[in-house]
Amino acid sequence: MKIGLIGCGKMGTALIKGILAKKLCRPADIIARDAMPKAVEAFRKSVPGCKVAQNGLEVADAADVVLVCVKPGDTVPVMAALAPGKSAPLLISIAAGVKLDALERAAGPRHRVVRVMPNTPAMVGQGASAYAPGQHATSKDAALTEKLLGAVGTVVRVSEKHLDAVTGLSGSGPAYIYTVIEALADGGVLAGLPRETALQLATQTVIGAAEMVVATGLHPAVLRDMVTSPGGTTIAGLAVLEKNGLRSSLMEAVRAATARSIELGQ
């Protein structure tokens, strides 16, 4: 399988590294392009043996699938530039807010398009991605998309109307969790722990709690109750979180990010 990459930034590089780690293709099967020479050079060093193209058409004509990993404002022009190519590879866009209709109109009727929303933990193989196939995409295209995204974490298929909510939840979600980790560590420092120790414990606590949800299949509320003894320390802490609106703040953060994703697509 020949894989093209347009946009050699962090997310594009993370996807390619995951694909290579799962041995879905070889470095020699990768052909990349970026408008910034420094980005291309960094990618070449990160993926030794890959090929580099001079333009997008060269990528499209050499690949079975092209990952379009550029900024939302650049995505439609990139798609349009691929339209007159000799071949018609599957095009996968990761741009937030850019609708399938706009992508397909730019790429032309010969191209199959899939819209994807990954997140940054893909860089360490722990991504959470969702995708929506375009009207011309086939079941094989959907299966290939799942295979590629599955190389860097979990992937789910959704209706396009849900991708803005995905953006607000898992796309932006890592930033919320980083804030939670930082706040927990600050709380540990406030209680007298050394900074390094507090951060280590806070980070592992979040990792462990998430793994408990995955491993047990239990609802988070059930797992929370398992930690919460009557009159104990945990319920005292939870009471403060409820009083200060942690739950509602996170819900509103997802809603605000979702609304912003919708605005970007208009």
Q: What is the pLDDT of residues 233-244, one digit of tens each?
A: 999 999 999 999
Query: How confident is the model at residue 172, as a pLDDT?
Result: 95
| Residue finishing a domain among 117, 136, 160 | 160
Q: Residue 266: pLDDT above 80?
A: no
* CATH code of residue 11: 3.40.50.720
In terms of domains, do 200 and 144 share one?
Answer: no
In terms of domains, do 154 and 90 share one?
Answer: yes
CB contact at 8 A, 42 and 67:
no
* 165 inside domain: no
In terms of domains, do 184 and 255 share one?
Answer: yes
Q: What is the DSSP letter of 167?
A: I
* 58 inside domain: yes
The owner of tokens 């030794």 is 48
Q: Quick one: average pLDDT of 27-38?
A: 95
Could you give the number of structural domains in the chain?
2
- What is the model's pTM? 0.91
* 167 inside domain: no
> What percent of the chain shows pLDDT beyond 70?
100
C-alpha to C-alpha distances, 168 to 85, 145, 252, nearest whole angstrom? 34, 21, 10
Q: What is the pLDDT of residues 188-205, one digit of tens each?
A: 999 999 999 999 999 999
In terms of domains, do 188 and 156 share one?
Answer: no
In terms of domains, do 233 and 197 share one?
Answer: yes
Query: And the tokens for 5?
Result: 């990459």
Q: Residue 265: pLDDT above 90?
A: no
* 128 inside domain: yes
Domain that holds residue 230: 173-264
> What percent of the chain shows pLDDT beyond 90?
92
Query: How confident is the model at residue 41, as a pLDDT?
Result: 94
In terms of domains, do 197 and 146 share one?
Answer: no
* 185 inside domain: yes
How far apart (Å, rounded) are the C-alpha atoms in residues 34 and 8? 6
Q: List strand residue ranges (DSSP E) for the chain, in order.
A: 3-6, 30-33, 51-52, 65-68, 90-93, 113-117, 127-133, 153-157
pLDDT band at 49 (very low <50, low <70, confident <90, very high): very high
Q: What is the pLDDT of residues 68-110, one digit of tens each?
A: 999 989 999 999 999 988 889 999 999 988 999 999 999 998 8
| Residue finishing a domain among 118, 136, 160 | 160
Q: Quick one: average pLDDT of 164-176?
A: 96
* 168 inside domain: no
| Residue finishing a domain among 160, 194, 229 | 160
* 187 inside domain: yes
In terms of domains, do 79 and 184 share one?
Answer: no
In terms of domains, do 144 and 201 share one?
Answer: no
